[in-house]
Structures are given as C-alpha cells and as structure tokens.
Amino acid sequence: MAGETKYSDLGLVNTKEMFKKAMDGGYAIPAYNFNNMEQLQAIIIACVESKSPVILQVSSGARKYANQTLLKYMALGAVEMMKEMGGNIPIALHLDHGDTYELCKSCIDTGFSSVMIDGSHHSFEDNMALAKKVVEYAHPRDITVEAELGVLAGIEDDVSSEVTHYTKPEEVEEFVEKTGVDSLAISIGTSHGAYKFKVVGPGEEAPPLRFDILEEVERRIPGFPIVLHGASSVVPEYVDTINANGGKIENAVGVSEDQLRRAARSAVCKINIDSDGRLAVTAVIRKIMAENPAEFDPRKYLGPAREELIKMIKYKNENVLGSANRV
C-alpha cells in the first residue's frame, strides 16, 4: 500500500450517502473523535452494536499523535473488525478542522474519505477561496468536503474571542454555490471543550442554541447538510466522578440532550463529539487509580474506560442523535 491510498481500498465510504439518508430520516450521523486504539475500538463496537453509521474523526493533533501511517492501518483494521463482528455499517474517516490545503491533500492521499477545511478564521472571501481549492482536489477523487462559516467561541480559549461569531445566514448561499462544498458547519452558540457556556452558579441553565439562525440557513439552502460542532453534553456524572477523584473541572456545562435531539431532526446531518469521550475515559481512569493505588497494568484501567465509552456512544446513538438502527 505504498504511495497514494484510496479510501475505498480501506473499506471506507465518503459522507454523501450517509448525509442523504440522515436528512431524509431526520437524524444525525455521529462524528466521534479518536486518538488511540481503545477509543477506536469503542467507537466501532458501539456503532456496530447499535447499528449506526459512523464518522471516525481525526484532528491534525490526533493524526500527529497516532502517526499518519499507523492511522491508515488502524482505519483498515477498524473496517475489518466491524466485518468480523458481523456488522455492515458505513464508516467514514474524516479530517476534523483541517487548517491548510496541504493538510487536506495529505489526508486525502493517505486514505481519508472526507475532510474539513476550516477557514472560518479567515475573511469570507479567503475562506471561500480556500474551500474551493480543497474541493477541486477532493471531488475528482470522490472525497467529501466540509467547510465552516461563523466562528465558535471557546470561553477557555485565550486566542479566539469570548464572543461567538454566529453564522450570517445571508452568506450561506453564495458560499455553498461558489465553493461546491458538501456540508457546512455553522455557529449557533456551541463551542469546543468542556466550558461551553459561562455559568455563574451550580444548576444554572445554559442559554439555548440559536435555532432561529439554523432555520434561516435551512430556508436559504434547503436540503443541504449542516454540521454541528462543539456538541458534547459535558455529561455531569463524568464531571462529578472526575472531581470526586482528585480532578478539577469547575462550572463545566455542555449542550443539553433536548437541544441536540432538536438539531438532529433538522438539516443538521453530522454532530461532532470529542469532549464527552475524553471525560468518560478520564472519569473511569481517575476512579480506578484512586481506588486501586497498587494497580499498574494499563489494561486494568484502559479496558474499563473503553467499556464506559462503548456505553456512552450507544446511548448517544440510540437516545440523542437517532442514528441507531439505521443500517
């Protein structure tokens, strides 16, 4: 498998068919981020068991962490494992938040079936030009492309502003038409990480997402697949377990399941989840470490962490995104 690798040779699919079915069926495809073997195993096992299509999502940091060559074989192995389990779920391998044309090209050349070019921090014109360039490389190879309009705030992030730059619905038609992208991430009030909303006291509700913006986007580009980033619920049980076992995660609040269910019924065809997986793994490991100070076999804490991740993913597919039993 030297030189360029075509995603179909790895048994992967792009997101086109997945999104069409999700749009027609009123549910969202889960995009779970992973960095290591246990996370990948958990995603595959949970999605096979819940009969859900899935997008395996890799950030540029994750690609560096895992090693790009190993990653290709991990994806191939994931597909083979899925088949051995008797599953037949569609699996896409997607670059999350690609920031340059070169990175997108490199991922395409090494077996990814889908890429995100995130030019959301550029001007509208530069964002469009960059997305168009990626599409021109991707589409002849049958790779799907996601772009982003609007900027998600991260209140823990000292680089970007604390203010969300909501997507301007009046920009979406021109962007989609001129770039030819296959899906569009929009900013309607979510943000990345565990600290999504500024809350003052315990039990305080997070502000609702801007469904009015989503609806206006849907009106302007009917039937076009929309992507929701920053969609972890920041599961309170995990945060509590972490804090009860020596961790320190304060005032962390995520997107409510009801808001996610509403989004999944709309033109939102892809929902991105990373932080909840990180919290699940950390909660289990912290608890085991605290309760078993003599334990030093990684399988004894990574194994249970993987089990918790499987449980969490199945729950989300079945009860939140609605992607379970769709294949």
Catalytic residues: 96
Give the whole-angstrom CA distance, residue 117 versus residue 111: 16
Nearest-approach distance from CB 190 to Zn ion, in angstroms: 9
Work out whether 107 is an interface residue with ligand 13P (CB under 6 A).
Answer: no
**61 vs 298, which CB is nearer to ligand G3H?**
61
Work out whether 164 is an interface residue with ligand 13P (CB under 6 A).
Answer: no
**152 vs 284, which CB is nearer to Zn ion?**
152
Nearest-approach distance from CB 299 to ligand G3H, in angstroms: 24
Of the residues 232, 241, 317, 323, which one makes contact with ligand 13P according to CB under 6 A: 232
Work out whether 92 is an interface residue with ligand 13P (CB under 6 A).
Answer: no
Residue 119 in tokens: 């030019």
Of the residues 115, 273, 313, 320, which one makes contact with ligand 13P according to CB under 6 A: 273
Residue 72 contact partner, candidates ligand G3H, Zn ion, ligand 13P, none, CB within 5 to 8 A by sort of partner:
none
**74 vs 235, which CB is nearer to ligand 13P?**
235
Could you tell me the CA-to-CA distances from 283 to 71, 114, 301, 305 in Å, in that order? 26, 31, 10, 8
Q: How far is CA 233 from the centre of its chain?
A: 13
Work out whether 169 is an interface residue with ligand 13P (CB under 6 A).
Answer: no
With contacts defined by CB under 6 A, name the span among 15-23, 141-149, 166-174, 269-277 that binds ligand 13P. Answer: 269-277
Give the whole-angstrom CA distance, residue 195 versus residue 261: 21
User: Contact residues for ligand G3H (CB under 6 A)?
Assistant: 33, 59, 61-62, 96-97, 192, 274
Work out whether 144 is an interface residue with ligand 13P (CB under 6 A).
Answer: no
Q: Residue 175: CA atoms inside 13 Å, Cβ hemisphere, count?
A: 30
Give the whole-angstrom CA distance, residue 291 versus residue 301: 11
Work out whether 35 is an interface residue with ligand 13P (CB under 6 A).
Answer: no
Work out whether 268 is an interface residue with ligand 13P (CB under 6 A).
Answer: no
Phi, psi values for residue 95, rounded to 5°: -80, 125
Q: Of 258, 285, 307, 282, give the one whose Cα is nearest residue 194.
A: 282
Closest-by-Cβ residue to Zn ion is 229
Kindly state the number of chain residues that form the binding site for ligand 13P, as judged by CB under 6 A: 14
Work out whether 278 is an interface residue with Zn ion (CB under 5 A).
Answer: no
Of the residues 63, 229, 278, 286, which one makes contact with Zn ion according to CB under 5 A: 229
Residue given tokens 């929009």 in the structure block: 186
**76 vs 112, which CB is nearer to ligand 13P?**
112
Asked whether the beta carbons of 276 and 268 are under 8 A apart, the reply is no
**97 vs 196, which CB is nearer to ligand G3H?**
97
Give the whole-angstrom CA distance, residue 142 versus residue 135: 10
**27 vs 32, which CB is nearer to ligand G3H?**
32
Nearest-approach distance from CB 70 to ligand G3H, in angstroms: 16
Q: Of 266, 142, 283, give the one whose Cα is nearest residue 209.
A: 266
Residues at the interface with ligand 13P (CB under 6 A) = 33, 96-97, 192-193, 229-232, 272-276
